[in-house]
Amino acid sequence: MTLPQTDQPRSIAEFAESSADLIERLQHAGGAYPASPSFSAYAGYSWFRDGAFIADGMSSYGRIGSAERFFDWCSVVLDARSGQLEAIVAAARAGHPLPDAAMLPTRFMFDGTAGDDEWWDFQLDGYGTWLWAVGEHARRHGTDAARWSRAIGLSVDYLVSSWRRPCFDWWEEHAMHVHVSTLGCIAAGLREAIALGVLDAGREAAAADAEAAILELMHTDGLADGHLSKWLGSRAVDASLASVVGLLGVVPGDSEPGRATIAAIERELTVDGGVHRYVDDTFYGGGQWPLLSCMLGIAEVRSGNRDRARELLDWAVATAGADGALPEQVGRHLLAPERVDEWVERWGPVAQPLLWSHAMVIRLAVELATADAGASEAEARA
């Protein structure tokens, strides 16, 4: 696909194209997207979270086959774990939930196994985001999701049985809390699983009940000073919440909590166009994440602020190295400069390229081009 013809600068269109090529080149033959091919701690692994957002970016850009290969891979991974999943669900239903260590991993090796490296496992969001990405893809391209229906059903059972549990967040931290962006990912996934029309009546009703309960919780204990909060009961904001307001469409960007969340991220976490994860971040000194600038940009578009979204997109693209590779974060306006060295010693320099960063640039470029085209059409009609 080429981006819709608008006044989008040529450099952005070219960057999106080369990003899609890079992602497709690095995608494993079995469909997994590596998080980062060269970074010591990530090499050889694919995350459902990163992968779902990457698949959505590729799908939005017309790289249909690549997105579907990822969904195939997710299905294979989940089917292979159906026994574990059924045991988790049965135990939860019986009122004796299994311990965190018995829950599904956060990331997998490309062959679908869990790998031997220790990780901050038990994160629920990815099992929602992959469902959300399938739903978006099917709506966008008219795809029949029947071939993924078994894995979709297993994921719905898993989420319905376990969504109330505390778990690690997007940043693989703070396992003792229930994170509002994790809840948003689960709600989006359940909503899309229902919309796909592949669930039996019992599962569909259970998914709808869980989605409604999650939304209720997000709009009560999940709010602080009018904005979505980092975890239930927290007063802080986290930039991952931009996805809940923007891309995942769980809290509308032009609603009161949507606008308040965008404003809080802009005010507390953003310097120029660069977005920090949260104020107490110390990972590699707590720099600015281009993928979060893009997440915020999409939320801005959806709240009607295309100009700000363009600034955020330009900022994200400008973080690319001379070889065109986007990093996970840049070390500007560091929140905890004294904490950089320990991470460099542990894992080496910041991940670059990070495929999720590339995918988010693609996704925001598509979002903006589509919104610009819609606005031009509306003007022409007026």
Near ligand BGC by CB under 6 A, which window of 79-87, 133-141, 153-161, 165-173? 165-173
Which tokens is 96 given? 């004796």
SS3 state at 31: coil
Give backbone dihedrals phi and psi of 107, rounded to 5 degrees, phi first: -135, 160
- Verify whether residue 24 is a known catalytic residue: no
Instruction: Choose, by CB under 6 A, the member of 15, 23, 27, 42 that binds ligand BGC.
Output: 42
* 15 lies in the site for ligand BGC, by CB under 6 A: no
Near ligand BGC by CB under 6 A, which window of 42-50, 230-238, 307-315, 364-372? 42-50
- Catalytic position from the list 68, 125, 136, 169: 169
Q: What is the largest CA-CA distance in the chain?
A: 61
Give backbone dihedrals phi and psi of 57, rounded to 5 degrees, phi first: -60, -45
One-letter identity of residue 58:
M
* 356 lies in the site for ligand BGC, by CB under 6 A: yes
Shortest distance, position 148 Cβ to ligand BGC, whole Å: 22
Instruction: Choose, by CB under 6 A, the member of 33, 168, 170, 278 that binds ligand BGC.
Output: 170
What string of DSSP letters covers 45-88?
A: EEEHHHHHHHHHHHHHTT-HHHHHHHHHHHHHHHHHTHHHHHHH
* 171 lies in the site for ligand BGC, by CB under 6 A: yes
Query: Closest CB to ligand BGC among 148 and 356?
Result: 356
Least Cα distance to 265 among 231, 233, 297 occurs for 297
Instruction: Choose, by CB under 6 A, the member of 3, 12, 20, 35 that binds ligand BGC.
Output: 35
Query: Closest CB to ligand BGC among 8 and 329?
Result: 329
* 50 lies in the site for ligand BGC, by CB under 6 A: yes
Shortest distance, position 48 Cβ to ligand BGC, whole Å: 9
Gap between the Cα atoms of 132 and 296, Å rounded: 18
Q: What is the 3-state secondary structure (H, E, C) of 298-341?
A: HHHHHCCCHHHHHHHHHHHHCCCCCCCCCCCCECCCCCCHHHHH
- Count residues contacting ligand BGC (CB under 6 A)? 10
x/- map, 172-191, ligand BGC, by CB under 6 A: x-------------------
Binding-site ranges for ligand BGC (CB under 6 A): 35, 42, 47, 49-50, 170-172, 354, 356
